[in-house]
Structure 1
Amino acid sequence: MQLYLPIAELTVNILLFLGVGGAVGFVSGLFGVGGGFLLTPLLIFTGVAPAVAVATVAPQIVASSASAAISYWRRRLIDEKMSLILLSGGMIGSAAGVYVFRALRTLGQLDLILGLAYVTFLGIVGGLMLRESVGAILRSRAGRPPAGRRPGQHNWVHGLPLKVRFRRSKIYVSILPVVALGFGIGFLGTVLGIGGGFLLVPALIYLLRVPTSVVIGTSLAYIVCTMALATVLHAIANGSVDIVLALLLMIGGVIGAQFGAQVGQTLRGEHLRALLAIIVLAVATRFLLGLFLTPADIYSFEVLGALP
């Protein structure tokens, strides 16, 4: 079953992209990460132009994340207060990211920046998460208590002003790092087409000490709102959202996310983090190889302006 994508200018197999959307939706519900860090590379690897892939992934992330977020909300596993404060910075970051994306596309540097950024961010975050999660698993098997802070031990975050109590997350911390996280991840998620959940989840766990069970639902709620804004801005400012492709990915993503959310609630936190770290590192490795391998088409042509 073949279908023509008007914006991507490709003829694709419908079942293939429904399957891709379903698989990424499953990952989204399982880890609470939106799935864009995996879906955007998959689209690029299948021949979709990077600009179209990044913009089109945003509505798919909204659909799959919303589906999974509803499941977590019903179980009261979302910190609504933290989600709102994250969004106060995330909305501004998403808007800024769309216009930086447009500037990079105009300069012709989008493909290179995307490749370098994926290798850097995915490699660093995946490596740190894998190290920590494997250590937690080994400690658990050895019967040792999990590594944690001793009473009275704080990091620099706890010295910041404007502290707020997040009762659902059981923490008392300044809103400044929460707003900053929202802005930074909203910006990067929009520019790279990744949703930002794979950055937000470890940041909330390791920086703010939010429980893993609450982090996933809170991350999903944040991603739904920021990616919805990114979708609208990408469509208006860049005109690169392929709605036909997005619908295929959405259908598969919504179904996959429900299964992922159910499975995610049966696994231990350290096991979830280890699986996510392995997937993140695998995607980073694929992008790293792409930076050094010679492409099949060495030259490309583009019309820069109308002929006189």
Structure 2
Amino acid sequence: MQIYLPIAEVSVNAFLLLGLGGIVGVLSGMFGVGGGFLMTPLLFFIGIPPAVAVATEANQIVASSFSGLLAHLRRKTVDLRMGGVLLIGGLAGAALGVVIFNILKGMGQVDLLVKLCYVIFLGVIGGLMFIESLSAIRRARNPAPTKVRARKGRGWITALPFKMRFRTSGLYISVIPPIVVGLLVGILAAIMGVGGGFIMVPAMIYILGMPTKVVVGTSLFQIIFVTAFTTLLHATTNFTVDMMLAVLLLVGGVVGAQIGTRIGVRLKAEQLRILLALMVLAVCGKLAFDLLVQPSELYSLGAAAGH
């Protein structure tokens, strides 16, 4: 069933969009990520303009993340205090990111730079997560090295000022690292149309030293508010939020998130991390390939426009 998207100015299959929303919802529930790192490139692939995809996907992430968060709240695996600290940085980062996005859009370079950002960030984060996940699986067979590494990873953070106790996570650390992580994620949410979970989740595990089960729910909590704020800014400054597209992705995402949460509970933490790393690398590879083959098409379009 083809429908016309007024803001994106393209016609797409409604069932395809529902399916894509469902896939991203499953990822949201399983990994504690908004799923935008996968959905936004998929929207590029089916012909949605990058500026519209970025702004609209932020809207869909709110719904899928909220659905996943409810399931984690029932299991009491959300550190609300840590989520609040991350949110302070996230809202500031989102506002800064929208300003940067508007500047790039005015220069006419937003489409290319958004895709380049995806290739760089997904490549780096996916590679690091994959290496760490393999190491974690090996360490699971040898418990002793794991304890040494955990103490070492949190050492420099405990030396920072402005400490706060996070009882749900079992931590007593400075609020500076969580605020910085939130700030970076907020900027990415505005520029790339992502929840930022693919950076926040590994940062919370490996830098802040939070337990994986608490990380997933806490990440979703922060993502909801940052992406909602980002959507509002894009809608009022860029007018690039396509509500028809957002509703279809939203419906699929809410259903998928509940399924993903149930799947995630049955898998080990190391298995979840390595699956997420492989997905990030797969999307990165596809985007990089498209950037390499795209210039010939752009040249032919340019030639046609010149006649």
Residue type of the partner of 1:91?
Answer: L
The runs of 5 or more residues in structure 1 that have no matched partner are 302-308
Query: 1:227: which partner in 2?
Result: 227
Task: Compute the displacement of 1:151 (Å).
Answer: 8.6
Q: Matched residues in 2 for 1:211 and 1:221: separation? A: 16
Query: 2:148: which partner in 1?
Result: 149
| Contact 1:136 1:146 (C-alpha < 8 Å) held by counterparts | no
Query: 1:276: which partner in 2?
Result: 276
Write out per-residue CA displacement over residues 141-200 of structure 1, whole angstroms, 9 at most, x where no aligned residue: x45556233696453222110111100000110001111111111111211111101100
| Contact 1:59 1:231 (C-alpha < 8 Å) held by counterparts | yes
Q: Matched residues in 2 for 1:152 and 1:291: separation? A: 42
SS in 1 for 2:266: coil
Q: Matched residues in 1 for 2:110 and 2:288: separation? A: 16
| Contact 2:83 2:219 (C-alpha < 8 Å) held by counterparts | yes
Q: Matched residues in 2 for 1:199 and 1:249: separation? A: 23
Write out per-residue CA displacement over residues 269-297 of structure 1, whole angstroms, 9 at most, x where no aligned residue: 01000000000011111111122113534
Q: Matched residues in 2 for 1:298 and 1:19: separation? A: 33
SS in 1 for 2:227: helix
Q: Matched residues in 1 for 2:213 and 2:228: separation? A: 24
Q: Matched residues in 2 for 1:103 and 1:116: separation? A: 16
Q: Matched residues in 1 for 2:31 and 2:70: separation? A: 14
Q: Superposition pairs for residues 202-241 of structure 1, below 5 Å?
A: 202-241=202-241
Query: 1:306: which partner in 2?
Result: none
The runs of 5 or more residues in structure 2 that have no matched partner are 303-307
**Percent of matched pairs sharing the same residue:** 50
Q: Superposition pairs for residues 104-253 of structure 1, below 5 Å?
A: 104-140=104-140, 142=141, 144-145=143-144, 147-149=146-148, 153=152, 154-253=154-253
User: When the two structures are aligned, how many residues end up with a matched partner?
Assistant: 300
Q: Matched residues in 1 for 2:105 and 2:112: separation? A: 10
Q: Matched residues in 2 for 1:47 and 1:298: separation? A: 18
Query: 1:2: which partner in 2?
Result: 2
SS in 2 for 1:11: strand
Write out per-residue CA displacement over residues 235-292 of structure 1, whole angstroms, 9 at most, x where no aligned residue: 0000000000000000000000000011111111010000000000111111111221
Query: 1:262: which partner in 2?
Result: 262
Distance 1:152 1:293, change over 3 A: closer
Distance 1:93 1:167, change over 3 A: same
Q: Matched residues in 1 for 2:264 and 2:132: separation? A: 19
Residue type of the partner of 1:78?
Answer: V
Task: Compute the displacement of 1:96 (Å).
Answer: 1.2
Residue type of the partner of 1:175?
Answer: V
Q: Matched residues in 2 for 1:150 and 1:63: separation? A: 36
| Contact 1:185 1:196 (C-alpha < 8 Å) held by counterparts | yes
| Contact 1:99 1:237 (C-alpha < 8 Å) held by counterparts | no
SS in 1 for 2:172: strand
| Contact 2:114 2:192 (C-alpha < 8 Å) held by counterparts | yes
Residue type of the partner of 2:279?
Answer: I
Q: Matched residues in 1 for 2:43 and 2:97: separation? A: 20
| Contact 1:123 1:284 (C-alpha < 8 Å) held by counterparts | yes
Query: 2:34: which partner in 1?
Result: 34
Query: 2:85: which partner in 1?
Result: 85
Q: Matched residues in 2 for 1:43 and 1:152: separation? A: 42
Residue type of the partner of 2:167?
Answer: R
| Contact 2:189 2:230 (C-alpha < 8 Å) held by counterparts | no
Query: 2:305: which partner in 1?
Result: none
Task: Compute the displacement of 1:139 (Å).
Answer: 3.4
SS in 2 for 1:164: strand
* Larger mean Cα displacement after TM superposition, 193-202 or 151-160: 151-160
> Structure 2 length as normaliser, TM-score?
0.94
SS in 2 for 1:223: helix
Q: CA RMSD in A?
A: 1.5
> Structure 1 length as normaliser, TM-score?
0.94
